[in-house]
Copies of this chain bind each other. A is one copy, B any other.
Amino acid sequence: MNHRAVNLQQKFSLFREQWQPKVIAQMNDYQFKLVRIEGEFIWHDHPETDETFIVLEGTLRIDFDDGSVRLGAGEMYVIPKAVRHKPCAEGEVKLMLIEPRGTLNTGHEGGERTAPGDVWI
């Protein structure tokens, strides 16, 4: 068996595009994804699952119907399932997402901001 560490910065060096999550590891049926984001995303929710955000670089604001949270590098937040949210990054943010395989970035909203799922890097 080939035992190789997954280096987060090395994985980020492999792509520059924003809003296109890349899968870097899988634990049972959950996937770890890296994504670069900048600017506002759309309001959406994930009716079936919580979703974890870990900020690796930059500052991310996540808006909710009843407030917001700011995450800097080394900070995380678990968005409860079915809670409407809108990520907003002023500069570029490097982010790790953890969620069940098959979770789409736009939830059930669809539309042009929907990224392909299950793209490994």
Contacts and interface: CB of A to CB of B under 8 A. Distances in A.
Contact of A26 (B6, B9, B62, B78): B78
> Nearest 4 pairs between A and B by C-beta?
A3-B69, A5-B75, A27-B50, A27-B52
A50 B28 CA distance: 6
Contacts of A99: 27
Interface residues of A, number: 38
A30 interface: yes
Nearest to A3: B69
Interface string A82-104: 01000000000000001110000
A4 interface: yes
A76 B3 contact: no
